[in-house]
Amino acid sequence: MPLHLIPNARDRLIVAVGTDKFGNVVPTYDWSPHMTHATQPTFPAGRYGRRREPRRPRPWLTVLLAALTAVVLGVVGLRLYDVFGNDAHTPLLLSESERTDDHVSIRFEVRSRAGAGPAVCVVRARARDGLVVGVADVPVPAGERVRVDYTLLTSARAFVVDIPSCRSA
């Protein structure tokens, strides 16, 4: 099929590339070649300052920043591990032997790292609605695995007993 170029009133060329199944010409549009094309802008001399030349990429700066970032993240990670992840004393609730309206008796074990001294563990009892009904700081002697029996006084019947933390004495 021959290619028909028909000038349009809006400075476009209609490039007819074919016909549809009814024999109608199917046009596609293209901008005419005499229209303005985008080029680099031209500014008056001295008005907008000096144009900079593109800089050479500096791969050594990228490597230096990546290494510095890795060192800083490593130091922050080690510090957070020392503060939050490196417990010298780890409590484990073993059993509960008696639960009444005014006290609860528990047995728990504290595992300590070698060289860790005595500890103080927080024992907490909560009622069914989540209110704290008893809290105590329980002293634990030094040792690698120490079992402690303790009776916690409560203001109401305890639903759950836990040991949220142990710290060095």
Q: What is the CATH number of the domain that holds 154?
A: 2.60.40
- Return the percentage of the chain with pLDDT > 70, whole number: 78
Q: pLDDT tens digit string along 86-100?
A: 678 889 999 998 899
In a domain, residue 110? The reply is yes
Task: Grade residue 161 by pLDDT with cuts at 50, 70 and 90.
Answer: very high
Domain count for the chain, please give it: 2
Contacts (Cβ under 8 Å, ≥6 apart) of 19: 1, 25, 26
Assess whether pLDDT exceeds 70 at residue 35. Answer: no
The domain of 27 spans 1-35
Specify if 95 maps to a domain: yes
Of 162 and 82, more confident? 162
| pLDDT of 121 higher than 90 | yes
**How does residue 14 score in pLDDT terms, banded at 50, 70 and 90?**
low
pLDDT at 64: 93
- Same domain? For 101 and 31 the reply is no
* 147 within domain boundaries: yes
- pTM for the full model? 0.53
Instruction: Write out the DSSP string of the chain.
Output: -PPEEEE-TTSEEEEEEEE-TTS-EEEEEEE-TTS---------TTTS-PPPPPPPP-HHHHHHHHHHHHHHHHHHHHHHIIIII--SEEEEEEEEEEE-SSEEEEEEEEEE-TT---EEEEEEEE-TTS-EEEEEEEEE-SSSEEEEEEEEE-SS--SEEEEEEEEE-
- Mean pLDDT computed over 67-78: 95
Q: Is residue 52 part of a domain?
A: no
Residue 110: pLDDT over 70: yes
